[in-house]
Amino acid sequence: MTKAIASPSVRSLAARRGIDIDALAGRLGRETVVREDVVNTMQKSQHGAAAFWDVDHAAYGPVSEEPIARISRVAAKNLSAAQTLIPAVTHHDEAEIGAIEDLRAKFKLEAANRGTRLTALAFHVAVLTRCLQEFPRFNASLSADGEVLVLKNYCHVGLAVDTPRGLVVPVIRNTDQKGIFAIADDIADLANRSRENAVRPEEMGGASMTITNLGGIGGTAFTPIVNPPEVAILGITRTRFQPVWDGEQFKPVKMVPLDLSYDHRVIDGAMAARFLAHYARLIAEPRRLLL
């Protein structure tokens, strides 16, 4: 059997996917195996597995068919690649959000005079921006061969938006240079234009990290899929009151669940826990954003 020559990252990928890299080198008739060889083998295996879906459902009862929108097909390919190639882990935490709600109430009149809808999501974008600056490994992308980490000297935050055509992720640029009202205006503008299919191609892609917010729908936790080539994604679900012990008694406190999925090749569990704990502190005490 041919003894393969391959980088540690390629061997690691092959091992995670149960591919015998030396046997693969033999089938290819060469000594060197690169990442693309492993990925192609994985894709061929997936095509073979497609037989499980090749079923005549009409044989079991009445059915109807609905074509999948192009944007959903593109998203499906990206998500499949993410699940196949990224060893992802999700870390869960929660944050007290009462101070954010107080600030929203305080700025309500000023926001209305500006024509701004100041949502909690705007504060989440601002807090994430601060965390990306303080934890630069989250504001990065891994090279295709897994051997170089590209650290970004900018902060762009992607927002997953639910539209009639499927999920799209427009990006707010330079969030580190914008105040809370400007961020809120960008959120409203991008969300509205996404639903109207009016977002330009240059307004997509290039995010430092993405936020996917299900708070308006519900849920207590989920495991968002990392949006490649980013290395992490933040999920948010519905805020709810919880009893919190203050040392003397339980008090009802507004808490927001947080779900951080990350690429374990770049970020380890301790780093993820510190990142989300710091995020939760900033949400609980947003005045820290001014420090």
Active site residues: 264
Q: Count the Cβ atoms, other than its own, within 10 Å of residue 170.
A: 21
Following DSSP, what letter does each residue of 6-57 receive, concatenated?
A: --HHHHHHHHHTT--HHHHHHHHTSSB--HHHHHHHHHHHHHHHGGGG---G
Supply the DSSP string of 168-235, one letter for each residue: E-BEE--GGG--HHHHHHHHHHHHHHHHTT---GGGBS--SEEEEE-TTT--S---PPP-TTBSEEEE
Q: How far is CA 67 from the centre of its chain?
A: 26
Rounded to whole angstroms, how far apart are CA atoms 36 and 143? 13
Say what angle helices 35-49 and 8-16 make with each other, to 10 degrees. Answer: 10
Residues 6+ apart with CB under 8 A from 163: 71, 194, 195, 197
Pairing, β 161-163 against β 250-263: unpaired
Alpha carbons 227 and 170: distance in angstroms, whole number: 12
- Amino acid occupying residue 167: L
Contact 222, 261 (CB under 8 A): no
Give the β-pairing of 149-151 and 140-142: antiparallel
Helix axes 180-195, 120-134, angle to 10 degrees: 110
For the record, the structure tokens of 57 come out as 């459902």
